[in-house]
């Protein structure tokens, strides 16, 4: 079973010398896949496709070279060499004719890991052509796979956090919608925020699962539109939460006097307008880029053909600037709310330790609601152990953001257990 996984691939005929563009069309390789650590793809798939793309690029670059090359000293007979070849598993470099070529075993294939200290072999015949068979019999499967890469670990934290959040958010939304006693403007705002988490977490997981199999432009662009829209709705409903609390606590004006439709317009309407503007700019910017790179035969056309909306450019400020503005505004809301809260606690003649405890509790509860966690995790170390810890911590905190909101504002909300006890006693 172990050897057949490699040998079935290695026994295929040599891959034809496709130009790089032809191979991209056949395999669905996108510019997105060039980043081996992209969290949008299964790591093994990205590595295999990257090896394939790099090999085809080498083959494409050496197409004009003849199998017979002259001696550099001049006047001598040509020396036959086998050209670069892709056998669906390994990229074989140019090798002398009439000799056995060696190459290190690949680290993994189809999720199976192999001992890279051993070698695969393939004959280069005297006439400068490769044998159709590559021998991977020495490539033994590892008893235990190597530790997952940094990208795989970070991706796992994202998935774990999002899945746990989806479950908790689903239960919390059901509780708020099912029990009429809990229906009020405050809980309605909480419910809308939780719905945005469900939509965003779901589209993120969907994108991560299918991105490796999506090769058409329309599907990828539509997916990007939904991801950016739900991402923005999430932040705009955080802003609504902050605005509601600011009006209630600082302005001392009842938040109930502001109609729900105003909050809905802010939370769902503004993001739609922003995403439409962003998508329009991306579309026309893509057309201009296409016109300006028609003569570029190396990768630019492929970037434009597959999923260009995933590539970062200046148009992304259309949706990034509102997010930064919201985070800054919510931070100002938080400071104002905490100032009022601490002032009231000090005037209540309560013990100082109890004041600090209440203030700390309020601060921790407001952090996830207003998205302050994102501010704390914007920048950090990216290299070494500290970088790994920072990336994984950020992935876990972002993934668990929805779970934290459901925990604080539903499961730990005293109204919820009181309502449940009341319904059970009836």
What residues contact 93, with CB distance under 8 A and at least 6 apart? 84, 101, 103
Task: Please enumerate, as own/partner, the contacts of 338-347 that have beta carbons within 8 Å and a separation of 24 or more.
Answer: 338/362, 338/363, 338/366, 340/249, 340/250, 341/249
404 pLDDT higher than 70: yes
**Cα–Cα dist 218/21, whole Å:** 19
SS3 115: coil
Distant-in-sequence, close-in-space partners of 280: CB < 8 Å, separation ≥ 6: none
d(CA 404, CA 397): 9
The CATH superfamily holding the domain 2-124 is GPCR, family 2, extracellular hormone receptor domain (4.10.1240.10)
Q: For residue 108, count other CB atoms closer than 10 A to its CB.
A: 18
In whole angstroms, give the CA distance from residue 228 to residue 222.
10
Tokens of 117: 């200290």
Bridge-based pairing state of the strands 99-104 and 108-109: unpaired
Residue 215 binned pLDDT confidence (cut-offs 50, 70, 90)? low
**More confident: 300 or 393:** 393
What distance in Å separates the CA atoms of residue 209 and residue 39, rounded to the nearest whole number? 10
State phi, psi for 66 to the nearest 5 degrees: -80, 155
Among the listed residues 327, 330, 189, the one whose alpha carbon sits nearest the alpha carbon of residue 267: 189
Least confident range of 64-68, 118-122, 301-305: 301-305
pLDDT at 191 over 90: yes
Evaluated on CA atoms 395, 399, 404, 407, the torsion sign reads negative
* Domain segments of the chain as ranges: 2-124, 150-425
221-262: pLDDT as tens digits: 888 899 999 999 999 999 998 888 888 888 766 556 678 889
Which residue would you say has higher pLDDT here, 195 or 59? 195
Tokens of 327: 């985070």
- What is the maximum span of the chain, computed from C-alpha positions, in angstroms? 103
Please tell me the CATH code under which domain 150-425 is placed.
1.20.1070.10
Rounded Cα–Cα distance for residues 256 and 413 (Å): 20
- Asked if 107 contacts 120 with a C-beta cutoff of 8 angstroms, the reply is no
| Least confidently predicted of 35-49, 202-216, 237-251 | 35-49
- Least confident stretch, 11-20, 372-381, 409-418: 11-20
Task: Give the mean model confidence (pLDDT) for residues 361-367.
Answer: 73
């Amino acid at each position: 079973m172990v050897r057949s996984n490699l040998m079935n691939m290695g026994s295929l005929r040599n891959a034809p010398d496709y130009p790089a563009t032809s191979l991209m069309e056949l395999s669905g390789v996108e510019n997105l896949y060039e980043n081996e650590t992209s969290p949008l793809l299964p790591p093994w798939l990205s590595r295999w496709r990257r090896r394939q793309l790099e090999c085809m690029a080498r083959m494409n670059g050496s197409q004009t070279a003849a199998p017979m090359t002259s001696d550099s000293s001049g006047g001598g007979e040509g020396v036959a060499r086998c050209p670069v070849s892709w056998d669906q598993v390994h990229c074989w470099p140019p090798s002398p004719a009439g000799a056995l070529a060696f190459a290190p075993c690949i680290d993994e294939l189809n999720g199976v890991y192999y001992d890279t200290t051993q070698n695969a072999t393939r004959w280069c015949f005297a006439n400068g052509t490769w044998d159709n068979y590559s021998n991977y019999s020495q490539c033994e499967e590892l008893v235990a796979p190597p530790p997952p890469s940094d990208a795989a670990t970070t991706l796992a934290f994202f998935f774990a956090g999002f899945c746990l959040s989806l479950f908790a958010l689903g239960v919390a939304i059901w509780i708020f919608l099912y029990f009429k006693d809990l229906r009020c403007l405050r809980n309605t705002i909480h419910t809308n925020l939780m719905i945005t988490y469900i939509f965003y977490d779901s589209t993120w997981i969907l994108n991560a699962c299918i991105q490796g199999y999506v090769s058409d432009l329309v599907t990828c662009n539509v997916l990007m539109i939904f991801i950016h829209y739900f991402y923005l709705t999430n932040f705009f409903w955080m802003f609504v939460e902050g605005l509601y609390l600011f009006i209630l606590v600082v302005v001392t004006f009842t938040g109930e006097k502001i109609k729900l439709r105003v909050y809905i317009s802010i939370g769902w309407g503004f993001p739609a307008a922003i995403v439409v503007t962003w998508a329009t700019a991306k579309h026309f910017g893509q057309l201009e880029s296409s016109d300006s790179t028609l003569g570029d035969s190396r990768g630019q056309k492929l970037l434009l053909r597959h999923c260009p909306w995933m590539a970062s450019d200046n148009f992304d400020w259309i949706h990034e600037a509102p997010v930064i503005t919201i985070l800054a505004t919510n931070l100002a809301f938080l400071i104002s709310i905490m100032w009022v809260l601490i002032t009231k606690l000090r005037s209540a003649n309560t013990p100082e330790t109890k004041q600090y405890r209440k203030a700390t509790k309020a601060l921790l509860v407001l952090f996830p609601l207003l998205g302050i966690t994102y501010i704390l995790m914007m920048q950090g170390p990216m290299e070494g152990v500290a970088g790994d810890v920072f990336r994984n911590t950020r992935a876990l905190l972002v993934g668990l953001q929805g779970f934290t909101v459901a925990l604080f504002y539903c499961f730990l909300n005293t109204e919820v257990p009181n309502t449940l006890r009341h319904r059970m006693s009836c």
